[in-house]
Structure 1
Amino acid sequence: MNVHSTETGTPGGLDRILRTGPFHLALRAAIEARGLALHRVRHRLAQRGIHVGVTSLSYWQQGARRPRRAESLRAVRALEDVLGLPDGSLLRLLAPADDGGRERPASRSYQSLFERPDVLRELLAELDSPLDGGLHTLDHWERVRIGARRELLTRSSQQAVRAHRDGIDRCLAIHYGDTGCAPERVRVRAGENCRVGRVRWSEGAPVVVTELLFDTRLRSGETYVFGYAFEDGTGGVSHEYVRGFRFGGGPYVLQVGFDAEELPVRCHSFARTSAGARPSGAQELTLSGASRTVHLVRHSAGPGILGIGWEWA
């Protein structure tokens, strides 16, 4: 999905986000509006004597990092020229927040997003893979099915990503089951444009980590679309589904569907800053009678946790 058309819609939308921010969304929208890949932005900056790596540009437009040093702020001034923006329009959005000089963090550690970060750390070490695999998400659709025993049956994802370094040919997917989940019985199913690579799980913890191998090797700035699913059905009664985001990203859609014979009495969406934090921003969701589903839509997800919870009679 085109981030510009989703996030801003029109040039007028770009004007709006340049007024309101935040910086990373304004930068991303401006780059999309110009139709430039990040390596082309880097090249045009280099022509002006400004040298910034594609990775740094990618992190800036994700919200994973903010330009702070003098040379970085000089690059932001040059970006305004490269992208045809009014003078100061991006720099203004980097002004410190009025909260004692502190700024809200632009990212979350994976330790804060998962209830068993120790297990996840061990599994990642076995795969010799960091969570930041050189990709950031542009668009993510996720569907969850809850079964007749009120258990999490399946969760499937369709993602569009962009590489921010050369040579990317895979990504990691992580599944956290409900209490009682048997990770050795969870199955990973590859969808379009990918294959299942190595799969790791830990006895006694409801965690499964898998590699998804792409059909091509991406260069920096290239985009890719792929799909996959986890088939579970091994855990106990499910009460919520959550998705953690380390960095600010693109649009996210989550849809949860229920069995016709076992419908919840109430559903709501919510957010958390970390795995152990109290939910905030709860909104009631109406169950669709025809499809027996509820959903949430966020035009810019993360950093943090988004989810849907439900109550049984």
Structure 2
Amino acid sequence: MNIEDDARRAESDDFANALRDAINAKPVTLSWLQRQLKARGNRVSMATLSYWRSGARRPEGVQSLAALSDIEELLGLDVGALSRLLRSTNRTGPLGPNQFPIEEEELELAVIEAFRALGASYPDTSRELTTHSVTDVGADGNIASSITRSIVQSTVGTITAIPFLEINPGVRTPAPELAAVSGGRIAARYSHPDGEVHGVLFELDVPLTAPETAMVEWSVEYPPDYPQTRDTGHAVAQKARELLVWTRFHPDAIPDWCEEHVETPEGVTVTPLPPPRGTSVHLVRRAFGPGALSLHWGYGPREDQPG
């Protein structure tokens, strides 16, 4: 008797029964579920969904686990209601490249130094599955504070902490105040001598063993002597399921123009955007990375356009 195989089979049956019950309770069809997943950027075949429901197979790998998270939401289940039934899997599946998100070699060297100073290995062995970055802009039109919520995942072995960095290419800044909001605590801080890279080591509440996930949240407050900054964004070193950059403007500082910048190891794409219709602008990408997604804004005519 193979005890491990028996345990895995029982686990698969538990998962299949829970999925089947949730589908019947909604009630929805597999074809409806597949269409909804496709709309969210998760392409799962009907055959795969049928295998999962019958217990012939179970979700394994990052892409399947990402789809499973959406299935829980679509079926009105609690977070983890299905995925917790798959605890014994240790696969992450195909991850794609892990690359420095922008094409600046000197900046990457500074980031490597920051990782080492924080006691973290480079490249990081965690990845962000879903990240929502929200920035508030003050009455002077400059960034005032931000808060970031992310579902992070261990891709190799067990991790206990993740480095989070504030990067300002070409601009020397004082250290902003990074703070842990939920999911862990700040175990170490570092500022690179060039002033372009500041970071913290975010120690997780619970160690993560691949491919487990956790929800973390951290905030950034920018000091009064911080240089004028009229751009905000977020960078990922591996492909993320979803990246949202939401910028909220003070009512007295609605910009006259905005631009979306998408930067990858291959280069930068700049897309002019219409002026905000309200008091905020949001950018969203699915299956994004490695790269950086950012919003730039200003008042009066664009600097690169006449009068």
Q: Does the alignment reach a TM-score above 0.5? A: yes
Which amino acid is the alignment partner of residue 258 of structure 1? Answer: F
The aligned counterpart of 1:176 is 167
**Is the contact made by 1:151 and 1:237 (CA closer than 8 Å) also made in structure 2?**
yes
Secondary structure at the aligned position of 2:43 is classed as helix
User: Residues 25-79 of structure 1, C-alpha deviation per residue, up to 9 Å, x if partnerless?
Assistant: 865666767966887556xxxxxxxxxxx3xx34x1x323xxxxxxxxxxxxxxx
Which letter does structure 1 place at the counterpart of 2:203?
L
| Counterpart AA for 1:304 | G
Larger radius of gyration: 2
Cα distance between partner residues in 1 of 2:100 and 2:127: 15
> Which residue in the other structure is 1:284 paired with?
273
Q: Runs of 4 or more off by more than 4 Å in structure 1? A: 13-16, 24-42
1:114–1:192 distance in 2 versus 1, CA, 3 Å: farther
Alpha-carbon offset, residue 144 of structure 1: 1.1
| Structure 1 position 111, deviation (Å) | 6.6
Q: Which amino acid aligns with 2:292?
A: I
TM-score for both structures, normalised by structure 2: 0.66
Q: Flag the 1:182–1:213 CA change in 2: closer, same or farther, 3 A.
A: same
Provide the C-alpha distance between the structure 2 equivalents of 1:241 and 1:114, rounded to a whole number of angstroms.
Answer: 21
Judged with a 3 Å threshold, the aligned counterparts in structure 2 of structure 1 residues 268 and 202 are, in CA distance, closer, same or farther, namely: same
**1:225-244 aligned within 5 A:** 225-233=215-223, 234-244=225-235
Determine whether 1:214 maps to 2:204.
Answer: yes
> CA RMSD for the aligned pairs?
3.2
Point out where structure 2 has 5 or more consecutive residues left out of the alignment.
1-30, 46-60, 73-81, 301-307
CA contact (8 A) 1:176 1:206 kept: yes
Mapped contact 1:180–1:235 kept (Cα < 8 A): no
What residue in structure 2 maps to residue 87 of structure 1?
Answer: none
Letter in 2 for 1:210: V
Which whole-Å deviations, capped at 9, do the CAs of 1:217-236 have from their partners, x for residues lacking one?
Answer: 22222221110012114332
C-alpha contact (below 8 Å) 2:143/2:230 kept by paired residues = no
Indicate if the aligned counterparts of 2:136 and 2:248 stay in contact, CA closer than 8 A.
yes
| Structure 1 counterpart of 2:96 | 63
Question: In structure 2, the residue corresponding to 1:116 is in which secondary structure?
Answer: helix
The corresponding residue for 2:117 is: 126
Say whether residues 1:109 and 2:135 are aligned partners. no
Q: Secondary structure at the match of 1:195?
A: strand
What secondary structure, in the 3-state scheme, does the structure 2 residue paired with 1:125 have? helix
Q: Given the alignment, which residue of 229, 235, 241 partners 1:250?
A: 241
**Which structure dedicates a bigger proportion of its chain to strand?**
2
Paired residues for 1:40-51 under 5 Å: 40=88
Kept after mapping to 1: 8 A contact 2:112/2:122? no
- Give the alignment partner of residue 17 of structure 1, picking from 43, 52, 59: 43
> 1:195 is matched with which residue: 185, 191, 194?
185
Separation of aligned partners in 2, 1:187 and 1:162: 25
Equivalents in 2 of 1:134, 1:205: separation in Å? 25
- C-alpha separation between the residues in 2 aligned to 1:122 and 1:247? 20
Shift of 1:241: 1.9
Q: TM-score, normalised by structure 1?
A: 0.65
| Structure 1 unmatched ranges of 5 or more | 1-7, 43-53, 65-106
Q: What is the CA–CA distance in structure 1 between the aligned matches of 2:135 and 2:254, rounded to whole Å?
A: 14
Q: Alpha-carbon deviation of 1:113? A: 5.9
1:28-177 alignment runs, 5 A limit: 40=88, 54=91, 57-58=92-93, 60=94, 62-64=95-97, 107-109=98-100, 112=103, 116-177=107-168
How much has 1:204 moved relative to structure 2?
Answer: 3.3
Superposition deviation, residue 118 in structure 1: 2.7
Amino acid at match of 2:268: R
Percentage of pairs with the same residue: 15
